[in-house]
Structure 1
């Protein structure tokens, strides 16, 4: 284990070159920030795209962010290697551990991704939600959109996904469901507003 039996390095931190000292300190800060970013990404993905309220009529789900917790060993071990270098300990064992832990972390990430995605989608279908292709972004990382009422999934809203998102989020917050007529009217008004803005910009 890299956390036990630390061995003193042949050269202390003060004895290594100034350039190596600089990169050690910068690397430590960078890897610690990366570790925090991974933790935050997992927390954000869990709270925003995995856990949901059954009262919501519009749900965005993604199994992509939450499983990145499996990758935390990579920046964490890199930070540990920098700390060992900083305090004059050998970090050779830690560097070797990074490759093994990184490979396991990547395999675990994809395993969790498929498990989480399957769980979310099967749960949503059981609860009566329908997948909406038109409101889901084309990117692999874009969250999938599910609606309580599949009649509200309109192709005409596919080009104004951000407006559609805001529209449904407001209804989620108020606990009300829009009618089809309200949604159609909103789409027409939102498209017109965009056209007016673009035409105004051209002038």
Structure 2
């Protein structure tokens, strides 16, 4: 069974319409960007999952881990777009993309439930608590988990990105902030925002 086929295309790139030429030139860059984005998301979520037990603050979206299943069909799509760009027939690579997408999409959706269940179970086993106040309202927003439930404060619910920045150095050092430090940070951040709004 052939995986890659290098056969000259019936029409050269120069013989296509200007819109088709533009598509053939732009498509490889777009698909390469998608492949790189999938790989980056997968690696970042795996790093987050591996920090369970060490970090005091975890912001995870484990449902994105199964995106790696889509990397394989998109790799064939990238190959097909490159082949067309350099005047080769992309028929076989395109077929593998379609077949791969049909096979991997069900695995991707199934993987979302499995990854979510596994990571959440691991977090609860390690003693983490889900913090609703620091989790975004959007369905796609990452879930925030804390080792110390007392650090989940309603007063920090409107400054989720600031809270994430506050916890970052503690995660790197492997230490935990005190409740007083967090309350002071929230109070000072709110005051700084009010001063900025009022032009002080």
* TM bracket, shorter-chain basis: 0.7 to 0.9
Distance 2:130 2:171 in 1: 17
Q: Does 1:141 align with 2:136?
A: no
Q: Does 1:34 align with 2:67?
A: no
Q: Does 1:129 align with 2:128?
A: yes
The answer (yes or no) to whether the contact 1:58–1:146 under 8 Å persists in 2 is yes
Gaps of 5+ in 1: none
Which runs of structure 2 are paired with 1:1-203 in the superposition (5 Å)? 3-4=3-4, 6-13=6-13, 16-17=15-16, 19=18, 20-47=20-47, 49-200=48-199
The TM-score, its normalising length taken from structure 1, stands at: 0.84
- Pairwise CA distance, 1:136: 0.8
- Pairwise CA distance, 1:169: 1.8
Gaps of 5+ in 2: none
The answer (yes or no) to whether the contact 1:2–1:97 under 8 Å persists in 2 is no
The answer (yes or no) to whether the contact 2:4–2:92 under 8 Å persists in 1 is no
3-state SS of 2:92 partner: helix
Distance 1:33 1:174 in 2: 33
What is the RMSD computed on CA atoms of the aligned residues?
2.4
Runs of 4+ in structure 1 displaced over 3 angstroms?
Answer: 4-14, 86-89
The answer (yes or no) to whether the contact 1:64–1:141 under 8 Å persists in 2 is no
CA offsets per residue over residues 26-53 of structure 1, 9 Å max, x none? Answer: 2223322322222222222222x32215
